[in-house]
Amino acid sequence: MNFFEHQDRAKSNSKKIVLFYTIALILMITLIGVVPAIIVSQNGGDGTAVFLGVSGIILLIAGVGTMVKFAWLNKGGPHVAESLGGRLVSTATRAPQERMLINVVEEMSIASGCPMPGVYLLEGESSINAFAAGLQLDDAVIAVTRGCLEQLSRDELQGVIAHEYSHIIHGDMRLNLKLIGVIAGITTLAYVGEILFRCAGRGSKDDARAGAAIGAIGLLFFIGGWLGVLFSSIIKAMVSRQREFLADASAVQYTRSKTGIAGALKKIGGFANDPKLASANARDA
């Protein structure tokens, strides 16, 4: 199988996973709304109104949580890189390792046909790691750790940079933003559910029935929310895995060599320290 076939398979698998994820989220919202609606209808109430009301509240809460997360992530690639401790590398730098980095990024820009993004260096990160950030080509950046420059050969660094170019070209950052935003919204739903459940028992005896109803809805939000977060995180990992396969295949296409990216992956796998970034904001990169 050549790299074009690998790319097509990864793209197809990603679309299937995202479609499955969307259907599952709709079913989750429906299930949370159906339970109180059935209980109310069995007691002579308007189950349809309850279902619509609860579903609307779920969408509102999750929507607010998602938009708040979007607002932070929407600030562009430079903001993300700087929040992780990145420093912009000048294209006129004379530092040997930084000069090599700029040259490699320029070469991959030509090979991929993608405009050259901003280049950031994470000085305090000794692990071998890199990431692309930004929502559009005009605000995209590529960031590498100091460990990349110190541990990788030029060919291996070229493979890593080509890998990150694939993330930019195929819109992986936008897809990742959407998935992170949805997870943030579902997490907000779980937090609101916990608050409702805790507050339900604090009312007077006259409000016991209303408190029980609020507590039940809060418990549904809490359980459904955290199950949704767990499921969403698994789906996000599955999508990310397919996009990584796509990026690896694209790296071979841009560099016309398997050895660069393969060598880098071997070094990352055998690196003694944790390859993850140390920054608390790293999970959103």
Active site residues: 164
What are the Cα distances from residue 102, in Å, to 29, 76, 89, 146, 157?
A: 48, 21, 8, 14, 11
Question: How far, in Å, CA of 210 to CA of 222, rounded?
Answer: 18
Buried b (16+ CB within 10 A) or exposed e, 262-283: bbbbebbeeeeeeeebbbeebe
Name the nearest CA neighbour of 174 among 131, 118, 144, 134.
134
Q: Give the Å distances, CA to CA, from 198 to 33, 195, 231.
A: 20, 5, 25
